[in-house]
A and B are shown apart, each in its own frame.
Chain A
Amino acid sequence: MAAPTATASFSKAVYTPGETMVLTVDHADADRATITVSGTVTDTTGATGSFTASALIDEGTVSITDGGGKTWAVQSATRNRTVLTATA
């Protein structure tokens, strides 16, 4: 199984105290994939209904282990990107 790749960057090189810092963590995984299963169900009267279900394989979970004393909050998280913010 492949290990994920990850890079992180701040939105600015320098922040002023009180300013919102935006930290973007981009990550990917060769094993990561979204599978979608769909089909129909038919009852004994011949009536049918359809269904669709999706699942993400090998999802990545982002965590911060050292925030330098800052409190970080997740603003958004998609399959390959997590955006966190904190106050400088």
Chain B
Amino acid sequence: MTGLTVSGTVRDKTGNVTAWSASTDVSAGVKFGRNFASGTMGVLPAGMQVPTARIYFQPGDFTGTAQPTWTNQSLITEALGRGATSFVFSMKDATAAAMTKWVAFLRSIPAAYKANVWCVYMHEHEAKLRQGSLTFAQYDAGSDLVRAATQGEGFKFGPLHNGLNRNTADTAWIFGNYVEPTNLALCDFWALDCYDDNAKGAASLFFSATGWWPYAQATGKPIIIGEYGTPTGPNQATVAAGMKAECLARPQIKLVHYWDQWFTGNPDYRMTAATQTAWLG
């Protein structure tokens, strides 16, 4: 995946010059990776590469006393050790003070990675809106604040939705009811998290006429899958391979991350050895 920006000028006969620029995205194929987090993570074999990494910053990471940087975050270091060249960072602090630290973090990212860093504010906001822990006005204002700061530093920004939540009630409300920020047109990509808890298969679950794909495709924006997972077991590798094949057939999808973790109260999504090979091999 490569971001492409072209720029130029228009010069009139009196010597006045006006600059212009335009950006697009030239896909070099879908990248597959996993999340990097603390907790009960899957264990990858030595040497297995992870081309793209999904990393969360926790609420308060940019409002506390510490200053996160590219080099002081162990999860970034771990991902780099696995050969990651693309990163999806999500954060949840949308205050003016937090923006100072967020910008400082962005400025700590080496230039070589800049084109392949994708930034998100308040991922899976639909569940929070449904549950009442966040209002749309709060989400929208926060999204715009973080977007402006992020894009001002030359990084990409976009919303990250609930695609198919683990919670049945959330799923009923969310699926097909995406809540977009007012300034979606100014965003650089569209993203979502999605799980296949019952191993239905991506073709019928996500990419059917009633799945999220038709909506996502119509945004016309590069698509990021922040999380994907299907419960561990003998059939996991086959289901995951099906998801991979569906994504590979759609170059609008740029990055897909497997949720390689067992989080309390949720299914154990950790990859089996066969899934590791199918997904990352």
A-side residues, CB < 8 A to B, are 1-10, 12-17, 21, 23, 25, 27, 29, 31-32, 57-68, 70, 72, 88
User: Closest approach, in angstroms, between the C-beta of B91 and any C-beta of chain A?
Assistant: 24
User: Closest approach, in angstroms, between the C-beta of B137 and any C-beta of chain A?
Assistant: 28
Contact A4 B25 (CB under 8 A): no
- Can you give 10 A-B contacts (C-beta < 8 A)? A3-B12, A6-B20, A12-B220, A14-B26, A16-B27, A61-B11, A62-B8, A63-B11, A68-B4, A72-B6
User: Closest approach, in angstroms, between the C-beta of B180 and any C-beta of chain A?
Assistant: 16
Contact B17 A59 (CB under 8 A): no
The 3 closest A-B pairs by CB, nearest first: A8-B22, A3-B16, A6-B20
Overall SS of chain B's interface: strand
Residue of B10, B21, B24, B252 with most partner-chain A CB within 10 A:
B10
Residue in contact with A10 in the complex, picked from B7, B24, B252, CB distance below 8 Å: B24
Contact B6 A14 (CB under 8 A): no
Contact B14 A31 (CB under 8 A): yes
Contact B5 A68 (CB under 8 A): yes
A17: chain B residues within 8 A (beta carbon): 26-28
Residue in contact with A65 in the complex, picked from B9, B26, B251, CB distance below 8 Å: B9
Contact A32 B12 (CB under 8 A): yes
